[in-house]
Each structure stands twice: as structure tokens, then as C-alpha cells.
Structure 1
Amino acid sequence: MIFAWLHLKSCEPPPSQQGEQIERLIISKHVKINRRWLPLNALRAFEAVGKQLSFTGGAATLSVSQSAMSRHVSALEDLLGELLFERDAGRLALTPAGTELLAVVSKSFERIEQTMNAIRDESVPARAMRLHVPPSFLQQLFMPMLGEFRRDHPEIRIDICSANVTGLPPTEIDMAIIYDRPNVDDWVTDLLWMVRVEPLCSPETAKAAKGKSMQEFLVDQELLHLKLDNQPRDLLWSDYLRRQGVSVSAKGGLAFDTSVALAKYAMASGGVLLGDVDMFASEIEKGLLVAPYDAVIEDGYGYYLKLRADDLADPAVAAFRTWLIGQFSSFNP
């Protein structure tokens, strides 16, 4: 099957000039796409529409006509044999194929832009690597490690964002340390460590456990919950209690966004958290948190480093990944 490929010339006329100059290149559907004729202007149009989720908004971004944008996207869909947008009553939504392509196109254009600027103006610093780190991991473990990395690699700029999410954040990133259950996706994934939990509380609260079974102790305590995206608030406690054979309701108690908030509340105001014994090893060693029972289990969650395969070509990303994996290969829970 033959498809007509629409390619805008290098300079798109302004909106006031509606007679766009269009060059047609015939591409056979069965010919493998290669870099010699990548449809760069069409990809620019697709990116603009994808970010705005609007042909009108995308056209305004590039200062071209809406009809030209529509033809570019339609031709790109024809070439790929896949819809990139779902069109419903004038509303646009990216399809899975569109979501996948948009991420790659945006990052590629961004890197080309930054590299060209850096070459043209030597005063422009190298692009900062964007890294997501969960808040509790950042505060408890990563801050001291980061200082060591900065001493070894002062030339690598890092922008760190931190959000209370399970799994990958919605923001644009180069790498992410995430808290999640094991899963399979298109990202390169390295396990840093599996989370091990048990009931933790302040020394004062732990006094009530003396001579009691776990069930007798917990039935009189406020259980503190870690909130997880799209999961019941009592998920972790209910699973732990079931596996321990303890018949205690986990429905009540306070819930917090981060493990650090759980620990601080428990130390200051009471209650029992299901705490990561490795993350809070320092507090346990200092006696600020106490484990009344020796009942550690892996809860199925872990901390993972995730990045896209093509980002391994970035020396900063590759160096950070090698360093971080080395840090946790010697981590001894």
C-alpha cells in the first residue's frame, strides 16, 4: 500500500499566508523507516499537538495553520499504521502508541536543542540530569550518598524532584528511584533492595508489649498507615497481620504520605508503624524506634532504579547508574 507523505518546507509561512508550501514524498508502507528521510517537521507538529492535546494549540505553538498540523499528524499515522490520537467530539487523547512516541520525540528534540546551544555558546552548561527520588528514601538514605557522588562527579549536574507516588512519577525525568512492586515494562530496571518490615514504635509505647502476644499488644494500639496510590489505606497492615496469623482490625488509625512522617509521629505521639527496618536502621540503633517483636518479613515492595534504554548513551546517566548500583551492591540490610 502506498502512502503520500506530507513534508513542510524548512520555513513554514505565517498563519496569515494560508497557502502552505507542501512537498510530497511517496513512501511505501513496507519500507523500513530510516534516518535518511525521518519526517522531522511532521514529528515537530506531532509533538506540539501531543503536548497541547489540541491541533489549535499546537498550531499556535509553531505559528502554522491548524490544517497543516492536521495533515502532518494524519500522514504520520498513515506511515506508522497506528493512530496517535483518539479523536472524540473534538477532544484529543494520546493512544498508547502516541504516548510512547511523544516521550521519545520530546526528549530527542530537547537534547538536540541543548547540545546545539552548548556548542554555539561554550558558556551554556551541560544539561542537568533529571532524577526522581521518593521523599523518605531521599531523606533517610540518599542525601548522604548524594554528597559522595557529587565529590566524585562534580561535573554532572543533577535536578532532583521528589513526589509521593508509587511507581513512576508523571513528570519528565531521565532516571527514577521508585517504590513499587515488581513489574515488567519498557524501562531498564535495577533492583536496589526489597523492603523488609515489622511493627515499630517508640520505647514508651513498646513497654505495653511486655508479656503480651503481638495480637494482644496491637489490639490496643493505633496502627499508622502508609498511603499508596490507588490502594486501600490498610493494605500493608492487613497483609502483614494476615501473614502473621494475627486477628486485629487494620481499618482505623492515621495515614500518612511518607514513611518518614509515620516514624516521626510514632516517636513523638505514639502509635505503631509497619516500618522498613533497613530505612530506619539508624533510629532503631539509637533506640528512637523499637521493634517489640522479632517478626520481619518482605512485604512485596522494593526500591528500583528505572531509566529508558536509549538514555544509557548519556555519560551522566550511565555514570550515575553504575555508581548507585555499586552503592547498593554493598548495602547490607
Structure 2
Amino acid sequence: MPLPRTDIAEALRSSEAEAPDGGRVWLPLNALRAFEAVGQRLSFTGAASALHISQSALSRHVGRLEEYLGCRLLERRAQGMSLTAAGAALLPVVADSFDRIEETLKSLRREPGHGGRVLKVHMPPTFLHIAGLSLLAEFRRAFPGVPIDVSSSNGVGLPAGRGVDLAVVFDRPHLGDAIRDPLWMVSQTPACSPELAARAEGLDLVAFLRANELLHVKLEGEPFGTLWGTYMRHRGLDLAVSRGLAFETEALAVQCAVAGGGVTLVDVDMFAAELAGGRLVTPFADATSPSGFGYYLAVHPDDMADPAVALFRSWVIQRYAQVPSPAA
């Protein structure tokens, strides 16, 4: 039975004392759930609607959590609401914890005829299209008893709030909570159609890029032209990157380049087949540069004991150790 609202603050304060049997202290789950809902939406109105409670009750939950912690979690101003440093630190931990509880409960709740837990795997769209579909098909042939739920979104790093077991991520190298196994580091070079490349005769790289449309790949949370900007800096080129066409995925940018729509930066490993077949050409030798990004297989340490997660992770690592080319 939930605690009466008048007893929540007292229970929060008393929870600081360690449980007498050495177990866990009481956790203010309702207050934490209220804070998560407000923090994700930065709106008491939206959070109250989502939780089907009144705004006043929601405000009391958050206020008593702040009282318990001794710090503000939300800044309430006339122009809107924002997270404090403490709120920004607490929110992802709370959201991830609730996601994991929810996913575990779902995995334990068996429906009639359900043979086992579903492994949730996330992949970026281009990786999924070029390499992931064949990868998943191979895994399913080897282990047909493991059902897989595949999701996809275009962005940098781990997908937020998706409750996945494993994720192939496109990201810069960095340390974090997740265990990341590198699949390959991305090297890129300017590429275009054979017809467009023919116009490069007599031009240097700078003149060629200046004379043609730049094709970009949009990355969530990154400014326009991030990949071209990194390439220009690495090559020491003084060219503006705030022009051209931007696409949701690298696969679409490559399709546009093959059709003669401009010059794209192509992942030489991902699109090795297009380059080998001549549908996409690189008009300048020795123009390949590291992008600063790579593909990683990411998993949370808490999930490593899950047999299905461990099986998929070890299988993918072994496959990429044997076959360096991602599209092979």
C-alpha cells in the first residue's frame, strides 16, 4: 500500500538510516518516478498528465525529494524549467534504473506460447542496411532459439531511453558506463560518381570540392557539417562546410553521390563494394583521413550475466575478428 502523502517526507528522512538486517534502505520510488517524469519533459503539466495524477501531488513528490536530498533538482523560472547540476546527474541514473526494472519485469512475464526472452538490439540505419541485416541473419541461422527485436535511429552514442540490451553505436572513442567493443574505426574519403570524377581532371582537391555540392550526413546532437568539418581540419583545408545537402543516413548520401548529386565522405570499409564495383569512385589518391568516429558494440555491465546478451556479444566480436570488412 502506498504511503500517505503526509508520511512521505518522514519516510524519506528515515530512509537515511541503514536497514537493521543489513539490507537495502527504503527507496522513495514514487518521488523518484515523479522527478523522472518532470525531468524528462521539463513540464509539470505534461508529467502530471503522463502519470495520471494532479500537478499539486506531483509537485509535492518532487519537493519532498529535494528536501530529502538537501538540494534543488529543478530550476523554476518564468521563461521555463531546467535541470540543476544535481538534477542533470540524477535523471539519467533514475531513468536507466526504471528502464531496467521494466525490461526485467517484461522478460519475466511470459505469455502463453512464448518461448523465451526477446533480445533487444539497436543499430544505426546505415549499419543495419549495409552490414546489420546479414549479421542478424547469420546469428539467427546459428541460434534460431533467440528471438530478436531490432530498433534503429540515427545519432551519436547510445540511444536514449530505448531499453535495449545491446547497441551498435557510432561514436567518438571515450570512457563511459557501458562496455564498448570496437568493431572498426571509420576512415573517410571524398567520393562521387564516375561522371563527376571525370571533371576533376586538372583540379586539385580543394578546387574540386569548392566546385561541387557537398553531401552531408546529419548526426543527432552534432552541428551541421560535423564530418566534413573534421575532414577539412585534419587535411588542413580552408573550405566552408556550411553548404550542400544533408541526409538522415550515410546510405542516402551515397545514393545521391552515385546519382551524380555531389561529393560525399564515404566510409571506405562500409562501402567497399560500391567502390570496388566502380559505382562510386574516389578521384584523389591518398585523400583518406580518419573521421574520429568508430562503430562499437555497447552493452551495460549489469547485462553481461544475461546468457542471451553474452552469446550475441561474443558471437559478434568473433565474427568481426575473422572478417575485417563490415559489409562482407
> TM-score, structure 1 length as denominator?
0.78
1:231 deviates by: 3.4
1:146 deviates by: 0.9
Amino acid at match of 2:137: G
Structure 1 pair 63/249, CA: closer, same or farther in 2 (3 Å)?
Answer: closer
1:20–1:68 Cα contact (<8 Å) kept: no
Q: What secondary structure, in the 3-state scheme, does the structure 2 residue paired with 1:269 have?
A: coil
1:61 deviates by: 4.8
1:229 deviates by: 3.1
Matching of residue 43 in structure 1 with residue 29 in structure 2: yes
Aligned to 1:187: 178
1:260 deviates by: 0.6
1:304 deviates by: 1.4
1:18–1:65 Cα contact (<8 Å) kept: no
Deviations 1:258-309 (A, max 9, x none): 1111110011133111111111001111111011122212111111122211
Aligned to 2:305: 313
Identity over aligned pairs, percent: 32
Q: How many correspondences in the alignment?
A: 314
Aligned to 2:129: 139
Q: What is the alpha-carbon distance in structure 1 between the residues aligned to residue 186 and residue 20 of structure 2?
A: 44
User: Which one of the candidate residues 89, 101, 105 is aligned to 1:108?
Assistant: 101
- Say what the alpha-carbon RMSD is for the aligned residues: 3.8
Q: What secondary structure, in the 3-state scheme, does the structure 2 residue paired with 1:209 have?
A: coil
2:182–2:294 Cα contact (<8 Å) kept: yes
Aligned to 1:329: 321
Q: How do residues 127-276 of structure 1 correspond to structure 2 at under 5 angstroms?
A: 127-174=117-164, 175-276=166-267
- Worse overlay, 156-165 or 225-234: 225-234
User: Which one of the candidate residues 68, 86, 104 is aligned to 2:74?
Assistant: 86
Q: What is the alpha-carbon distance in structure 1 between the residues aligned to residue 139 and residue 48 of structure 2?
A: 40
1:27 deviates by: 5.2
Deviations 1:59-118 (A, max 9, x none): 99588997699569847974xx57594263796855422430331133124413541x22
1:189–1:305 Cα contact (<8 Å) kept: yes
1:249 deviates by: 3.7
- Worse overlay, 221-230 or 106-115: 106-115
Unaligned 5+ segments in structure 1 are 1-10
> TM-score, structure 2 length as denominator?
0.79
2:48–2:55 Cα contact (<8 Å) kept: no
Structure 1 pair 32/287, CA: closer, same or farther in 2 (3 Å)?
Answer: farther
Q: What secondary structure, in the 3-state scheme, does the structure 2 residue paired with 1:313 have?
A: coil
Structure 1 pair 84/36, CA: closer, same or farther in 2 (3 Å)?
Answer: farther
